Amino acid sequence: MSTPDIVLTRIDNRLVHGQVGVVWTSAIGANLLLVANDAAAKDELQQELMTATAETAGVGIRFWTLDKTISTIHKASARQHIFLVVKTPADVLTLVKGGVPITEVNVGNMHYSDGKEQISKKVYMDQADKDAINGLIDAGVKVYIKDVPEDKEQVLQKF
């Protein structure tokens, strides 16, 4: 098993959209978008929409469950520069606990819903999100908020 070249891991509850698929992908030099999300791995319509965005950016895209990501990512080719996109902090923590070599996580968009408090302009978290972020930090993962590539990182500390 080799170490996959994960150039960026991003939490974005929208998964792949224009900002992620085009702006971030080109800024970080990724050539493969890997959406690690159990629901998206089964949702053909959602996959079609995200695939269109990936095609616009000229990159490949895969839709894997969290379990498949854990069991398969170590088989990645050295020429694959992977942009790993997940929906929630809990998803990233599951991947880290499963052995996916994630050293830092970019928190993009986590929209408001009942019970969530505002952490930054586009990031809202509830206690479960905060607990997962704390778990990532405890595992030695750098976690930061950064909406677009030119923004300054806002590194998160334990909650």
Active site residues: 17
Pair type for strands 5-11 and 81-86: parallel
CA distance 43 to 40: 5
CA distance 101 to 42: 25
**DSSP 3-state assignment of 51?**
helix
**DSSP 3-state assignment of 123?**
strand
